[in-house]
Copies of this chain bind each other. A is one copy, B any other.
């Protein structure tokens, strides 16, 4: 899973995990490909063309295309895996699917909360003195039962200027706008994944379910701290910080909204609904709730289920009456991003016992399936984000993201951006530790081997084991021009990783034991988020981060929080399913468990 390929879809570069289908790769990156079957190889509509070096055609390709087309590079996106870098052409959409594929292969039947209907109303007369509102609601009595006050402020003028030919815009059961003429073909929604670090926005065409544009940027709250505890602390130290954090979150969302609307050629007023998934702290901050009690024991949120929220309450530029769906949290540390992730990965529908893990400073873990679900949060610390690691860095250009041992017995490093390595990101850290443990250079307790032992078990690597200052380190790469800029793994780094993985492993082990299960009962592990996409399944198993059920069952689920937000916009059924999850998931508070510390120590070793 740590391997990635670089693709270009209509000249837009994306980087995706090796082996995913091109349909999923495009869809996850907001690039719409025709499909009515949703990637099952039956509709033969997901046509794409390799501009160079097309892969061997599948049997379906041969049935779907002429020989000339096959030679020209045409393939079906849903049956073609991303195995090498490729330059791909995606034709414009020709059909409007009634269903859309989002999340982890979830087929969503389009039934958005926002609907439009074009009305040609009878003009009033002395014999028909129904009010303007009664006239409109009477024509859409299967859709709407009430209206926003703001609609009434322009209704009289709009109806008469448009000769009573108007489009009603309904959100759930409320008339939120009446527009002159027929605007039924323009209905958009914005899905946000409001992460502590990164925020992603997807502009969706709600009439087709297709993503129109996607953009991401760092959360502008970053200067107040890298993780949620730092940001909560800031609000406790400075009475003005909460307001500033709210403002910065709103600015982040607004900038992304403007970017995707610009890219998609969509006016702000055509965005009629917003969905947002984020952890409890992010949601508290963006809504202007006091986050302090979330940050200290007993970890209390202001609210889980939220009252009606408007896009304007989040600072998102959209239609003035646009509502916002904010995913509810299970607990202070299993937030709405996880609710969205569970929805997108179908945790509530799959009968198998699966383990859903979202690794970050705080690691959320959910165990179960269709019949039961339990969730907990484990304090994994910053190691997986490279933050407490000597040479740690974010997964950006220059970061070592994968470490293996080559045929020559020496290290083989994969560096993001194919540049000289400048640091170690989370997936590289896990790989490095797993590799050294495999090589015998780290013992089961996590201690570096003595020099003599190292030379005996791994002669090609032993020289890399040295001392910097008073600390033993393993040198991953040496910058010939500047030895001080070498990238290395220190004994303390290993300890940091041990703490993190022990917290996570203790979390899922407690969930398993509470359910009367063992690791062998888990059929699949879903790793959520971008970190999960780049983590080597083999290494994760090696260090005990995930149950040892074979690397093929460790699945990178991608940005499931954002996918869940998209699903909420596309389907009120799935939105309701997310709310139902709140009742279905049992939240386990680890800090309340007297056995936590003993279990934690048991899990420190490799």
Contacts and interface: CB of A to CB of B under 8 A. Distances in A.
Interface of A: 124-134, 146-149, 152-157, 160, 287-293, 297-304, 306-309, 313, 331-332, 587, 589, 591-592
Given A131-B300, A132-B302, A589-B129, A152 B307 contact: yes
A298 B152 contact: no
Contacts of A589: 126, 129
A126 B592 contact: yes
A591 B147 contact: no
20 contacts: A126-B298, A126-B589, A129-B298, A129-B299, A129-B331, A131-B302, A132-B301, A133-B304, A134-B303, A147-B303, A148-B307, A149-B307, A152-B303, A152-B306, A152-B307, A153-B287, A153-B290, A154-B290, A155-B302, A156-B291
A588 B223 CA distance: 68
A300 B129 contact: yes
Contacts of A155: 289-290, 302-303
A539 to B, nearest CB: 35
A290 B126 contact: no
Interface pairs A-B: 6 shortest CB-CB:
A156-B290, A133-B303, A126-B592, A126-B298, A131-B301, A124-B300
Contact of A152 (B128, B157, B289, B592): B289
Contacts of A134: 303-304
Given A125-B298, A156-B290, A156-B291, 6 more contacts: A126-B591, A131-B304, A146-B307, A149-B309, A153-B287, A156-B289
Contacts of A301: 131-132
Given A124-B300, A148-B307, A307-B146, A289 B153 contact: yes
Task: Report the copy number of this chain in the oligomer.
Answer: 2
Nearest to A246: B153
Nearest to A301: B131
Question: Max chain B CB contacts within 10 Å: which of A133, A154, A332, A589?
Answer: A133
A338 to B, nearest CB: 16
Nearest to A329: B131
A313 B149 contact: yes
Nearest to A148: B307
A215 to B, nearest CB: 27
B149 A287 contact: yes
Contacts of A160: 292-293
A384 B286 CA distance: 58
A153 B286 CA distance: 11
A124 B302 CA distance: 12
A300 to B, nearest CB: 5
A130 B303 CA distance: 9
Nearest to A304: B131
A300 B132 contact: yes
Contacts of A300: 124, 129-132, 156
A152 B313 CA distance: 12
Contacts of A131: 300-304
